Amino acid sequence: MSVYTTVTEAQAADWLRHYSVGTLVELKGIADGIENTNYFLTTTHGRYVLTLFERLTREELAFYLNLMAHLARHGIPCPAPIADHRNQFMSELGGKPAALVTRLPGAAVMQPGVAHCREVGAMLADMHVAGQSCPVRLDNPRGPKWWRETAPKVMPFLDEPRQALLKEELRFQALYRFQDLPRGPVHADLFRDNVLFDGVQPGDQRIGGVIDFYFAGVDSFLYDVAVTVNDWCVHPDGRIDEERAAALIAAYHATRPLTALERGAWGVMLRAAALRFWLSRLYDFYLPRPGELVHAHDPEHFRRILELRVATGERLPI
Amino acid sequence: MSVYTTVTEAQAADWLRHYSVGTLVELKGIADGIENTNYFLTTTHGRYVLTLFERLTREELAFYLNLMAHLARHGIPCPAPIADHRNQFMSELGGKPAALVTRLPGAAVMQPGVAHCREVGAMLADMHVAGQSCPVRLDNPRGPKWWRETAPKVMPFLDEPRQALLKEELRFQALYRFQDLPRGPVHADLFRDNVLFDGVQPGDQRIGGVIDFYFAGVDSFLYDVAVTVNDWCVHPDGRIDEERAAALIAAYHATRPLTALERGAWGVMLRAAALRFWLSRLYDFYLPRPGELVHAHDPEHFRRILELRVATGERLPI
């Protein structure tokens, strides 16, 4: 259960007086999410998500909320932050920074088919294009600088082969500079549980929501594609499913054509994307925050993915 | 049929390349609306309304689009304008100013009950409170100045008793100055066909959308309440239904309490609201635009309402 901070109905009802969304109907804690406290909050106007931010800086929060508002303004079905009577997105509740965002329809599809991957590829490209005019910027908080800071902290917990893999990958990635690749705000965490598909018929489903932007930042767009492919287009053992990967990347390419430089960087980027999640899962597994009970993912899944990407040297499947 | 400008599917598909809303699925002309050309436009992302503006100035349009964006940002379920890749709401299509806005769920309720009126009153108050921080302003384009310009144009078409009623009401309204009443952006046209109720069960319906902001402007909030009551809370003959009026006004008052000054101005404001629609319906009836085929409402309905409000001197029912 990821409710770190408890909010009572009386607190929420009182806090809602600062907004124009009607009065409280229901408040319900959400068990998902490993970073923040989330509640489903229903009012006489509609359905929202209330988030209390447990450890983000105000600068990070300002970026996330403004990025979501920018993407929503461009028609991307992401949570739209609601402004209060001071016309601000960022508020405070229970002593924590807090925000109210729209709740989106649909449910995660954990065993996606080719059609789902095609939808996700097209949506990702639309997000990248729409994000380019976003006036606020923040470097990807889980980029190379964070890798270099985090690796020494988890190294003591690893056996010798894993230490060697991690050291070698950091050395390999340091050989590459990706500043010349097309860049902009990226989601950086577009896993299957962060896309909601809406619609009754599996063949007629479309994306009702793209959620959880709290790892977003400015990075190369190709990195975002690699993060997405590493989760949406893999067999249970981590190998890439070429059919789903081709569908996702072709749909992406139809909206934002990939450049020659991006094609050349694909294999390296899949490794970078695997490295980032192996590292963060190692960190959350071996160095959990006090009071953080569950939801630490198995780090081994991304260790296997990294090893596979190193071994096969993937080429772009389109 | 109010499609003054024809847009082909090819034109729409091409125009959508400037947006991040996916690709065209369907385009369908809308018969409603007397001012602009509207199409339902469905893309791979979602459902939108495409509007081509037939006679609004760029200043008016900028106000309407920014007001809708502001209210949507505050959680009011109004059409949210979609920004294009230049990050602009206002575009051009077929040589006309054009905009893409979200399409909202629900349907108009033409025979509203007490519960519907309560919902509308609460929503109207929320709109007024949220609108106060809106940075753009435009005077109500159908205010007293417009009355004085329009009355002489329709006067020749009226018989003697109607001329006398119109002249007397203009004289009466000129005695009052409402600048001291609480003011801000108002919808100014919140008739039953501009509120969409969503939900299967009549007892469980809530407002899915408030639409058609193209008569909005800055005016006294009480004027907006009077316009709304004159449509939502009347018997077919124009008399006020006290029960529905009390429900609407009490729900409004619970969110934005009415002042003593507003209580005193209620009767005059109901007359002002009736005058405005009698005048515009007279104008549209006797002086239609070339090519404007139908949808001219019967002016007599608001003549009767005005006469009734003059005769009974309505007091605030709460």
Banded model confidence at residue B200, pLDDT cuts 50, 70, 90? low
- Give the β-pairing of B91-93 and B96-102: antiparallel
Tell if the CB–CB gap between A20 and B69 is shorter than 8 Å.
Answer: no
pLDDT attached to residue A3: 63
Euclidean distance between CA atoms A100 and A110, whole angstroms: 27
Tell if the CB–CB gap between B129 and A46 is shorter than 8 Å.
Answer: no
Tell if the CB–CB gap between B44 and A69 is shorter than 8 Å.
Answer: no
pLDDT attached to residue B99: 97
User: Mean pLDDT across the stretch A275-298?
Assistant: 83
Closest partner CB to B82 (pick from A22, A74, A80): A74
**One-letter amino acid for residue B269 of the chain:** M
Residue A203 has pLDDT above 80, yes or no: no
Q: What is the largest CA-CA distance in chain A?
A: 58
User: Mean pLDDT across the stretch A247-268?
Assistant: 97
Size of interface A-B (CB pairs under 8 A): 98
Task: Specify the pTM.
Answer: 0.92
Smallest CA–CA separation between B115 and chain A, in Å?
13
A160-190: per-residue pLDDT in tens? 999 999 999 999 999 998 889 999 999 999 9
User: Mean pLDDT across the stretch A239-244?
Assistant: 97
Q: Which residue spans of chain B are classified as CATH 3.90.1200.10? A: 114-312
pLDDT attached to residue B294: 53
A109-157: per-residue pLDDT in tens? 999 999 999 999 999 999 999 999 999 999 999 999 999 999 999 999 9
Residue of chain A with shortest Cα separation from B126: A20
pLDDT attached to residue A205: 80
Banded model confidence at residue B33, pLDDT cuts 50, 70, 90? low
Q: What is the mean pLDDT of chain A?
A: 93
Residue showing tokens 């983000």: A56
Smallest CA–CA separation between B164 and chain A, in Å?
43
Tell if the CB–CB gap between B45 and A80 is shorter than 8 Å.
Answer: no
Lowest pLDDT segment from A44-48, A56-60, A279-283: A56-60
Coil, strand or helix at B95: coil
pLDDT attached to residue B314: 81
CA B225 to chain centre: 12
| Torsion B201-B203-B209-B214 (CA) sign | positive
Residue of chain B with shortest Cα separation from A77: B45
Query: Which of A20, A76, A87 best probes binding to B when mutated, by most B CB atoms within 10 angstroms?
Result: A20
Residue of chain A with shortest Cα separation from B79: A73
Residues of chain B with Cβ-Cβ distance to A81 below 8 Å are 73
Residue from A26, A68, A46 nearest A210 by CA:
A68
Banded model confidence at residue A1, pLDDT cuts 50, 70, 90? very low
Q: What is the mean pLDDT of chain B?
A: 93
Query: Does residue A177 or residue A267 have the better pLDDT?
Result: A267
Residues of chain B with Cβ-Cβ distance to A67 below 8 Å are none
Tell if the CB–CB gap between B22 and A126 is shorter than 8 Å.
Answer: yes
The string of DSSP codes covering B216-267 is: -EEEEHHHHHHHHHHHHTB-TTS-B-HHHHHHHHHHHHHHSPPPHHHHHHHH
The pLDDT > 70 percentage for chain A reads: 95
Closest partner CB to A87 (pick from B119, B127, B133): B133
User: Mean pLDDT across the stretch B127-145?
Assistant: 95
Coil, strand or helix at B205: coil
Q: Are A122 and A255 in contact (CB under 8 A)?
A: yes
Residues B146-149: contacts with CB within 8 Å, 24+ apart?
Answer: B146/B279, B147/B173, B147/B275, B147/B276, B147/B279
Spell out the residues 6+ positions from residue A161 whose beta carbon is closer than 8 angstroms to its own: none
Smallest CA–CA separation between B87 and chain A, in Å?
6
CA A267 to chain centre: 21
B145-183: per-residue pLDDT in tens? 999 999 999 999 999 999 999 999 999 999 998 889 999
pLDDT attached to residue A295: 64
pLDDT attached to residue B55: 84
Residue B97 has pLDDT above 90, yes or no: yes
Residue from A224, A222, A200 nearest A210 by CA:
A224
Lowest pLDDT segment from A19-23, A244-248, B35-39: B35-39
Spell out the residues 6+ positions from residue A181 whose beta carbon is closer than 8 angstroms to its own: A220, A221, A222, A259, A261, A262, A265
**One-letter amino acid for residue B218 of the chain:** V
Query: Does residue B291 or residue B128 have the better pLDDT?
Result: B128
Banded model confidence at residue B3, pLDDT cuts 50, 70, 90? low
Smallest CA–CA separation between B92 and chain A, in Å?
17
pLDDT attached to residue A242: 96
Q: How far apart are the first and last CA of chain B?
A: 41
Residues of chain A with Cβ-Cβ distance to B82 below 8 Å are 73-75
Euclidean distance between CA atoms A212 and B206, whole angstroms: 28
pLDDT attached to residue B43: 95
**DSSP, res B194:** G
- Which chain B residues have any C-beta within 8 angstroms of a chain A C-beta? 19-22, 44-46, 48, 69, 72-77, 80-87, 100, 102, 119, 122-123, 126-127, 129-130, 132-133, 206-207
**One-letter amino acid for residue B138 of the chain:** L
According to CATH, the topology of domain A9-102 is Phosphorylase Kinase; domain 1 (3.30.200)
User: Mean pLDDT across the stretch A95-102?
Assistant: 96
Banded model confidence at residue B42, pLDDT cuts 50, 70, 90? very high
| Residue B59 burial (CB count, 10 A) | 10
Residues of chain A with Cβ-Cβ distance to B129 below 8 Å are 20, 85
Euclidean distance between CA atoms A297 and A281, whole angstroms: 6
**One-letter amino acid for residue B298 of the chain:** D
Residue showing tokens 């029912």: B317
pLDDT attached to residue A154: 98
User: Residue A193 burial (CB < 10 Å; 0-12/13-18/19+)?
Assistant: middle
pLDDT attached to residue B1: 39
B282-299: per-residue pLDDT in tens? 999 999 876 555 567 889
pLDDT attached to residue B203: 63
Q: Which residue spans of chain A are classified as CATH 3.30.200.20? A: 9-102
CATH code 3.40.50.11540 for A114-312: no
Banded model confidence at residue A192, pLDDT cuts 50, 70, 90? very high
Q: Are B65 and B72 in contact (CB under 8 A)?
A: no
Banded model confidence at residue B126, pLDDT cuts 50, 70, 90? very high
Banded model confidence at residue B315, pLDDT cuts 50, 70, 90? confident
Query: Does residue B313 or residue A261 have the better pLDDT?
Result: A261
A14-42: per-residue pLDDT in tens? 999 999 999 999 999 997 666 789 999 99
Question: What are the angstrom distances between the C-alpha of A60 and each of A74, A127, A137, B197?
Answer: 21, 19, 9, 38
Residues of chain B with Cβ-Cβ distance to A207 below 8 Å are 45
Q: Model ipTM?
A: 0.88
